[in-house]
């Protein structure tokens, strides 16, 4: 049993007997007072201070991790916007490249190129949509 547990047990016992004029209550108070000596109290204070120090270290780490997560979210959003801009631009280039010609009216070679280019555009869009699940 450590000092804190012992001190708590003695204090609870003395408190439970409080107000009852008895030798048992007097003995409990005496035992509590002898256990609550300056050395025990200083030891408990040192333990609390140590725990506070550890807690502060973890708070700092948590705050840094949260700040890094926010920075990464902002960076991720900026990259999404750039990727979206690229997909829009590429789609516009494809429309211009094929002169508005309908795919079913294209020569087979042109149609293959068109399908490849449009698949690339769709790949970018799918990447954008698939990454949307990562957003908070």
The reported pLDDT for the residue numbered 48 is 87
Q: Where are the domains of the chain?
A: 37-134
pLDDT at 136: 46
pTM of the complete model: 0.51
DSSP three-state, residue 52: helix
CB 84 within 8 A of CB 128: yes
Q: What is the pLDDT of residues 39-72, one digit of tens each?
A: 878 888 888 889 999 999 999 999 999 999 999 9
Average pLDDT for 25-52: 82
The tokens for 103 are: 């795919």
Question: Which two structure tokens, joined as six digits, stand for 49?
Answer: 């201070």
Q: Helices (DSSP H) in the chain: which residue ranges?
A: 3-16, 23-35, 38-97, 108-131
Q: Give the per-residue pLDDT at 127.
A: 79
Highest mean pLDDT among 29-38, 62-71, 73-82, 89-98: 62-71
User: What 8-state DSSP symbol labels residue 22?
Assistant: S
What's the length of the chain? 136
CA–CA distances in Å: residue 67 to residues 74, 117, 124: 11, 39, 29
**Residue 18's pLDDT band (boundaries 50, 70, 90)?**
low
Give the pLDDT confidence of 86-130 residue by residue, as tens digits. Answer: 878 877 787 788 787 778 888 899 889 888 888 887 887 787 777
Mean pLDDT of 20-38: 77
């Amino acid at each position: 049993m450590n000092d804190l547990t012992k001190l708590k047990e003695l204090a609870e016992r003395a408190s439970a007997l409080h107000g009852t004029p008895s030798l048992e209550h007097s003995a409990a108070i005496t035992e509590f007072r002898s256990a609550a000596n300056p050395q025990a109290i200083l030891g408990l204070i040192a333990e609390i201070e140590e725990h506070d120090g550890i807690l502060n270290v973890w708070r700092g780490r948590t705050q840094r991790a949260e700040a890094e997560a926010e920075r990464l979210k902002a960076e991720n959003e900026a990259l999404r916007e750039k990727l979206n801009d690229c997909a829009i631009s590429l789609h516009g280039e494809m429309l211009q490249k094929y002169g508005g010609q309908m795919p079913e009216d294209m020569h087979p070679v042109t149609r293959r190129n068109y399908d490849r280019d449009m698949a690339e555009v769709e790949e970018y869009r799918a990447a954008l949509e698939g990454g949307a699940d990562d957003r908070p």
